[in-house]
């Protein structure tokens, strides 16, 4: 259990750091709120459904990105300003990297729920449905951000960090989609192995469905 408390400690430290002299407190609150709500939900559901430690680590990384963006605003993260200037880019691309990582999380969460709850009997459908959830969640997030700006009266460029790009939301969704695809095609077998390692016997019902599987390795054909 200690390793989970370490993750919570790191989350708290990152949140505390972001709240010290941020660029804009309204932006800080709006950008940090989803991460805080998500963490509360994960803590509340931990006893009933614990995800793999790997998934929690990826979630923490994503939350740290959110806190950094909330502190500086996504369009003004200093390191990515330097990268922009060095590469001759026209915008700060910190938000693109953040959305790519955020695209990984829905796939990991959905795969674990579908696999461990045995909600889908056909293994081949699991990654496809997980990717669909990834696309749906990132599109919903962009709509919520736009709605929040409209209700609060904030300019889109300030709160959403569009940096004058009329296709910013679409580009953010594309970044998340790339993150989801990377997870599905490159990390799927590794994720299966981690699930089987932490929750032995998880893939047994796929064997009964006639699929070839090596539960120890977590590889499914």
Percent of the chain with pLDDT over 90: 57
pLDDT at 20: 95
Pairing, β 213-214 against β 219-220: antiparallel
Residue 31 CA to residue 149 CA, distance in Å, equals 11
Average pLDDT over residues 194-220: 67
pLDDT at 155 over 70: no
Angle between helices 25-45 and 123-152 (to 10 degrees): 150
Which of 7, 171, 193 is CA-nearest to residue 94? Answer: 171
220 vs 101, more confident = 101
pLDDT in tens, 86-138: 998 888 889 889 899 989 999 999 999 999 998 887 888 998 999 999 999 98
Higher-pLDDT residue of 195, 208: 195
What is the pLDDT averaged over residues 162-171? 72
Please determine, for residue 47, whether its predicted confidence score (pLDDT) is greater than 70.
yes
The chain-wide mean pLDDT, for the chain, equals: 86
Q: Which of 35, 38, 27, 102 is nearest to 70 (CA)?
A: 27
Q: Give the DSSP per-residue string, 92-115.
A: --HHHHHHHHHHHHHHHHHHHHHH
What b-and-e string marks burial along 56-67, b requiring 16 or more CB atoms within 10 Å of the CB?
bebbbebbbbbb
Phi, psi angle pair for 217, to nearest 5° = -90, -20
Label residue 145 by pLDDT band (50, 70, 90): confident
Distance CA 141, CA 146 (A): 9
Strand-pairing partners, residue 219, are 214
What is the reported pLDDT for 209? Answer: 56
Residue keyed to tokens 């259990």:
1
Question: What is residue 160's predicted lDDT score, i.e. its pLDDT?
Answer: 56
Q: Binning pLDDT at 50, 70 and 90, where does residue 172 land?
A: confident
């Amino acid at each position: 259990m200690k390793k989970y408390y370490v993750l919570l400690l790191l989350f708290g430290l990152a949140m505390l750091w972001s709240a010290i002299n941020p660029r804009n407190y309204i932006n800080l609150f709006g950008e940090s709120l989803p991460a805080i709500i998500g963490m509360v939900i994960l803590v509340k559901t931990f006893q009933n459904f614990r995800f793999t430690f790997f998934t929690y680590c990826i979630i923490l990384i994503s939350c740290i990105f959110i806190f950094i963006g909330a502190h500086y605003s996504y369009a003004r993260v200093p390191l990515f300003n330097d990268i922009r200037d060095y590469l001759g880019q026209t915008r700060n691309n910190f938000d693109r990297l953040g959305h790519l990582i955020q695209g990984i999380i829905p796939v990991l969460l959905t795969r674990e729920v579908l696999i461990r709850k045995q909600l889908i009997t056909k293994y081949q459908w699991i990654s496809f449905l997980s990717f669909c959830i990834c696309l749906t969640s990132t599109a919903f997030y962009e709509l919520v951000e736009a709605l929040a700006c409209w209700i609060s009266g904030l300019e889109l460029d300030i709160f959403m960090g569009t940096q004058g790009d009329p296709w910013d939301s679409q580009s953010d969704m594309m970044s998340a989609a790339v993150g989801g695809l990377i997870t599905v095609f490159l990390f799927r077998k590794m994720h299966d192995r981690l699930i089987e390692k932490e929750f032995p016997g998880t893939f047994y019902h796929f064997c009964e469905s006639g699929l070839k599987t090596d539960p120890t390795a977590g590889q499914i054909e």
